Amino acid sequence: MKLLVGLGNPGAKYAQNRHNIGFMAVDEIARAQGFGPWRSKFQGALSEGVLDGEKVLLLKPETFMNLSGQSVGAAMRFYKIDPADVVVFHDELDLAPGKLRVKRGGGHAGHNGLRSLHQHIGPDYERVRLGIGHPGDKRLVSNYVLGDFAKADSDWLDPLLEAIGRAAPYLAKGQNDRFMTAVAQARPDATPAEKPPAPKKPTEKADPAPDARSPLQKLIDRFS
């Protein structure tokens, strides 16, 4: 069983914040993959479903970001889930908007949600780092992550979330490289190396030009 966790803050005030892209990702997985309704459990919102034959739980902690580990830890203990089977979606300042990386373990880099997870379940869970870009000045980070996505961001945000929803079964099977490739191919700025090759069109042969020679000339050319 896998536990996919989206990090964010609860309530309409925060719904479109950059910090809530983790919530957005698991919401899209639930929608795209036909998961069950969200219900209140483990100090969060929980939804159950199946991805490629694997039972999967989706969790959105509603403790606010800096206490996310409480909710995740409670769900893990109840279902007896190991940290290795936990996948956390979170915003990443050090990746350009629309970029995505999957990694296991590592530090929390000052992210309050990850810091709380480290305290409650340790560092050995998997993370899906969702790039939101950096404001350019450390002093601006707090207002930046708690600010809403701009309208223009939908050009990359919508394709990113839709691709995550479609490719989620790869995560359930531990095929992280295939997951990252599938999502990268959906980006508007994907490089030719990231995009799948376009299907080759069959080569059309030109019709031969009509032979305008006379019968006599054809006979001469044949024996010349």
**Is 19 a residue of the active site?**
yes
Which domain, by its residues, includes 23?
Answer: 2-185
Dist. CA 70–CA 43, nearest whole Å: 8
The reply to whether 84 falls in a domain is: yes
Percent residues over pLDDT 90 in the chain: 78
pLDDT in tens, 76-114: 999 999 999 999 999 999 999 999 999 998 888 889 999
Dist. CA 223–CA 202, nearest whole Å: 38
Dist. CA 196–CA 126, nearest whole Å: 27
The reply to whether 91 falls in a domain is: yes
Average pLDDT for the chain:
89
For β-strands 100-104 and 2-6, DSSP reports them as: unpaired
Dist. CA 168–CA 24, nearest whole Å: 13
The reply to whether 57 falls in a domain is: yes
Q: What is the pLDDT of residue 148?
A: 97
The reply to whether 208 falls in a domain is: no
Q: Which residue has the higher pLDDT, 100 or 222?
A: 100
User: What's the whole-number mean pLDDT along residues 147-168?
Assistant: 96
* Tally of structural domains, the chain: 1
Ranking 11-25, 140-154, 207-221 by mean pLDDT, the lowest is 207-221
Beta bridge partners of 60: 45
Distances (CA, A) of 15 to 20, 61, 89, 203: 6, 13, 15, 51
Contacts of 28 (CB under 8 A, 6+ apart): 161, 162, 164, 165
User: What's the whole-number mean pLDDT along residues 145-167?
Assistant: 96
The reply to whether 175 falls in a domain is: yes
The reply to whether 90 falls in a domain is: yes
> Is pLDDT of 206 > 60?
no
pLDDT in tens, 133-154: 999 999 999 999 999 999 999 9
User: What's the whole-number mean pLDDT along residues 5-23?
Assistant: 97
The reply to whether 202 falls in a domain is: no
User: What's the whole-number mean pLDDT along residues 50-78?
Assistant: 96
Residue 49 region by backbone torsions, left for phi larger than 0, else alpha for psi between -120 and 50, else beta:
beta
> Is pLDDT of 198 > 50?
no
Contacts of 134 (CB under 8 A, 6+ apart): 93, 94, 141, 144
Contacts of 88 (CB under 8 A, 6+ apart): 5, 6, 7, 22, 72, 113, 114, 117, 125, 126, 127, 128
Choice among 19, 108, 120, 134 that is catalytic: 19
Q: What is the pLDDT of residue 199?
A: 44
> Is pLDDT of 29 > 80?
yes
For β-strands 86-92 and 126-131, DSSP reports them as: parallel
The reply to whether 219 falls in a domain is: no
CATH code: domain of residue 15: 3.40.50.1470
User: What's the whole-number mean pLDDT along residues 15-20?
Assistant: 97
Q: What is the pLDDT of residue 192?
A: 53
